[in-house]
Amino acid sequence: PLELIIMYGGYQSTKQNLDPVYSQIIDYVTKGDGSGKAYKNLATFVDRFGSRKVGTQRLEDAISHLVSELESLGSLKVHTESFSFEGWQRGAESAELVAPLSKRLPMLSLGSSVGTAAASDSADGSIEADCVVVESFNELDRLGKAGISGKIVVYNQLYKGYGVSVQYRTDGASRASKYGAVAALIRSVTPFSIGSPHTGMQEYEPGLPVQIPACCITVEDAELMHRIYKRGDKVRVRLRMSCGSAGVQESRNIVADLEGSEKPQELVVVCGHIDSWDVGQGAMDDGGGAFCAMQSVRTLLEMGLRPRRTIRLVLFSGEEFGILGGNAYYERHKAELADKISFMLESDSGTFGPIGTTCSGSEATRSAYQQVLNLLEPIGATTLVPSTDGPDITVWAKSGVPVGDLLTKRAGQPDDFYFYFHHSEGDMMTVQDPAEMDRCVAAFAVVSLALADAAELLPRGISGASAGEDGLLSDWVLV
C-alpha cells in the first residue's frame, strides 16, 4: 500500500497521494461492504458464549473458536500463548437485610474474596452481624476497633469518578479487617444504578492477619442502610458467600500476525481482552474492544492492503483478574520486542463513538503520532491525550514503547457512561451500537496501517520530554 512521508532528524522517505487509501478504509467500514460486521460478529459471539471468566471452560471454548475463525482467513499467522495463575470461583452467594426489616440485597462477591464459611457457625455457611455504615476511610478510622470489631462494614462512598472511588472496592476489606470487621459490603462503583451490583477485583494486603469476605451491593441498598443507620436504628445483615480459590489454572492469549511485506520483524500491535467477568455478556468490557481490533485486521485483508510492517492482533486473557495475560505477554516478549514495536493500541474503555486515543512517550512521540490521528478527522477522532492508558499494554511504556487506548464517547451521554454497565449484568449486547463500532474499527485500521507503512518507528524519547530534547524532530509530514 501507499506510504507516509516521515521525517526524523533529517531522514525522509517520500510517496505521494496518501490520503485516499485512508479515506477508502473509513468509507469501506462506515458506508461500504465492511459496515456492521464488527457488531454482527460480536453479537453472534457473545450470544453463543456469554460471559467469559478466566479459568472457565467457556472462555477456553471461546478462545478456541476465535483461533479457528482467524485461521480460516488464510492470510494470518495465528498461535496462542499459555500462562498459569491462581484461580478463583464464585459459588453460591446471597445477602439479606434482617433488621430493621427483611429485604433481599442483590450482591456480587468480589474477585479474590474469601467466603463466609470459615467464620460461620451456621449449617449453610452464612454469617450474621450488625453493621456500621461509613462514607470514607477517614470515618472508618475514627470508629476504630471499638466501633467496628465483630461487625460488618458497609461502605457508602460517594462516586467521585471511577479512579477515585474504586479504592473502596479494592482496599475496603483489608482496611475493615484491621479493625476486626467480619465482612465488608461495598457500594458498587458506578455513577448510575437501577438496582444492579457491579463486581470487580479486591486485593488483600500482604500479611493481613485475617482475610474477610467482600462483596459489592447496589447503590440503592447502600444508601438505604446508611439512612437507617444515621437514624440510630440497628442495621443487621446475613451474608452467605461460598467463593474461594480454584487452584492453579491456565488460559491463553491469542496472537495473529498480518505479516509485513518489507519489515516483518517490526510491529504495530492492536489489541483488547477476550475474557470478562461472569455477569452479563462481556459485550462492552471488552468484547467490543477485542472485536473492533480484530475487525480492523480483517478489514485490511478484505481490502487487499498489505502493510510494510507486521500488524499484530493480540487478544489477551485474564485482564479482569489482574492483567494476567498482558503481564505474561510482556514478560515473555519484552527483551525480544521492546525496540521493534512502533505503537500498541488497545480498546478497553468502551467502543462508543471514537474521539481519539491516548499516547505515551515524549512530546516528540505525540507530535509525530498526532499526524496519524489527523487522518481520522472524517470520523471526528483526532484528540490525543498524553497518558499510558491501556491496561494490558501500560507495562510496555516502561520499556519505551509508545502505547495508547482508544477514547470513545456516546453522544448525549456523560463521560463516565461506560461505568453505568461496567462489571454488571447490564453489560449486554444492547449497550453496543453498530455505527459506533464501525468508526472504532476504522480508527484501528487507519492508525495501524499508517504506522505500519511509515519509514521509521515512532520516536521514543523520555516521557514528558519536549520536542527536540532527545535529538528527534517531531514533525511527521503527511502528503
Catalytic positions are: 319
- Tell which residue, 37, 30, 26, has the closest CA to residue 298: 37
Residue type, 350: G
H-type helices in 321-425, by residue range?
324-337, 363-373
CA-closest candidate to residue 353, choices 290, 291, 297, 418:
418
Burial letters 399-417, b for 16+ CB under 10 A, else e: ebbbbbbbbbbbeeeeeeb
**Alpha helical stretches, state H, 11-99:** 19-30, 37-49, 57-72
CA distance 345 to 389: 10
Cell 491516548 belongs to which residue? 358
Sequence length of the chain is 479
CA 59 to chain centre: 16
Q: Is the peptide bond before 433 cis (omega within 30 degrees of 0)?
A: no
Sign of CA dihedral 103, 156, 205, 180: negative
Strands 236-241 and 183-187: unpaired
Neighbours of 101 (CB within 10 A): 9
Dihedral sign for Cα 47, 269, 391, 445, please: negative
500482604: which residue's cell?
206
The 10 Å Cβ neighbour count of residue 391 is 18
